[in-house]
Chains A and B, each alone.
Chain A
Amino acid sequence: MNMTVHVDIVSAEKEIFSGLAEMVFAPAELGEVGISPRHAPLITKLNPGEVRVKVNVNESYQFYISGGLLEVQPHLVTILADTAIRAKDIDEAAVLNAKARAEEALADKSGKVDYATAQSELAQAVMQLRTLDRLRKRGG
């Protein structure tokens, strides 16, 4: 029987593959790598591309990943896949967006925020009413 290695491929939102395989091919940043069982410990970033898991001669699976990380231990291969293509400029844009929204939320004291306050006041009033009600029941 051929040697196998345990392979896990996961993304932040779900598990993609988990099982034994004879060999794994992944698009590492410095070129495609093929990992056999008992490979030395290795950790590398992955480029967007295709991951191939060869379970045996007849059976192999292919997954498309949009970047990620590959960790190799002698008996274990883990691929952490990104859910979307990530680039520095896209992340920067997300930061700016989040900041803008925070400023908006701080500036917008009327509208939705008032609605939230009103709701919390309403909840307080309801609680007070309920307490009153309980007191009255105990008294009467």
Chain B
Amino acid sequence: MAVGKEIRTKIGSIKNTQKITRAMEMVAASKMRKTKDRMQATRPYSKKIGIIIKHLAQANPEYKHPYLITREVKRIGVILVGSDRGLCGGLNSNLFRKMLAQLIQWDKENIEVDVCTIGTKASGFFSNLRVNLVGQVSKLGDSPHLEDIVGVIKIMLDSYEAGRIDQLYIVSNEFVNTMTQRPTIEQLLPVVACELDENLSGHWDYIYEPDAKDVLDYLLNRFIESKVYQGLVENNACEQAARMVAMKSASDNAGNLIGELQLIYNKARQAAITQEISEIVAGAAAV
């Protein structure tokens, strides 16, 4: 029977798509678990280094590091963390929209912007815009290493030290839970001091070995690096979670579509049968 051949092919192709999206959903779900673990594994370091920075803010060092001094803002550096692959819902576009809004605002204030990007999507987005892209790294995979992103961070830190940029921001997604990822813009430089520890009041200072400048240099560099690294790992977890949700809704939509098409197909088939019977009956009556 030739009825609804097109509909049947259509149903077949949607079923194939559904198989793919379902597989991607499951892959994303298992990867999400791993990336979330990795995200949690980076927390102790950033917590510890945060505590040391806090202690330092309370100590009374004779040396003031440039990272701790606020300057008048003429030029801003931004590290944008995007994903390497697409098909993860609105994750990247939400982030880029937020970034664009911020860029427009800076533009109004006559502040110029230097951008470093992490991830293929981020650099793809910015190569279409006229912004000053100074560094880029991508294809880091699911388990990125700190060494991979040292380059882009150092570009920014060097230009901060040279006075080319006066503030440094990181733009990335924050993992709230599996369903929610929030795009955030966070200031990295100058380092903002957090609330103080009561136990350490009074005048005191560390013994610095070899000297305060060296140690502070090292510490603040590592602090920024760990912040960016955490942003990257967190963004990875966000990517997998967003992809899982997007693929799940794609599979559900495909299911709905198949249901609807099946209904249309059945109706068409029944109409054809009815018509045939009525034709036969009419023919028999005529004889």
Contacts and interface: CB of A to CB of B under 8 A. Distances in A.
Interface of A: 8, 10-15, 18, 28-30, 40-45, 69, 71, 73, 78, 80, 82-84, 86, 91-92, 94-99, 101-102, 104-106, 108-109, 112-113, 116-117, 119-120
Contacts of B204: 41
Given A69-B219, A80-B48, A116-B124, A98 B208 contact: no
Chain B interface size, as a band, is 35 or more
A84 B44 CA distance: 18
A97 B41 contact: no
Interface in B32-49: 38, 41-42, 44-45, 48-49
B178 interface: no
Nearest to A78: B48
Nearest to B225: A12
B133 to A, nearest CB: 5
A13 B136 contact: no
Overall SS of chain A's interface: mixed
B154 A109 contact: no
B218 A45 contact: yes
Interface string B49-72: 101100110010000000000000
A105 B123 contact: yes
Contact of B138 (A10, A41, A101, A119): A101
Contacts of A102: 116-117, 123, 133-136
A108 to B, nearest CB: 8
B151 to A, nearest CB: 3
B86 to A, nearest CB: 6
14 contacts: A10-B45, A13-B38, A41-B59, A42-B209, A43-B208, A45-B209, A86-B150, A91-B150, A94-B151, A96-B151, A97-B151, A98-B137, A102-B116, A109-B127
Given A42-B207, A43-B208, A78 B41 contact: no
B41 A99 contact: no
B41 A71 contact: no
B98 interface: no
A44 B45 contact: no
Contact of B209 (A13, A28, A91, A112): A28
A30 B207 CA distance: 13
Given A69-B222, A83-B146, A116-B121, 9 more contacts: A13-B146, A28-B209, A43-B52, A43-B209, A44-B208, A80-B222, A91-B154, A99-B151, A101-B138
Q: Which of B146, B207, B208, B209 has the most CB of A within 10 A?
A: B209
A96 B151 CA distance: 7
A80 to B, nearest CB: 6
B145 interface: yes
Contacts of B124: 105, 112-113, 116-117
A11 B45 contact: yes
Contacts of B201: none
B161 interface: no
Contacts of B219: 43, 69
A45 B157 CA distance: 20
B242 interface: no
B154 A94 contact: yes
Nearest to A97: B151
Nearest to A14: B41
Contacts of B158: 95
Interface string B95-138: 00000000000000000000011001101110110000111111
B34 to A, nearest CB: 13
A116 B125 contact: yes
B127 A101 contact: no
Given A69-B215, A78-B48, A112 B135 contact: no
Contacts of A78: 48, 51-52
B226 interface: yes
Given A113-B128, A119-B86, A95 B210 contact: no
A42 B41 contact: no
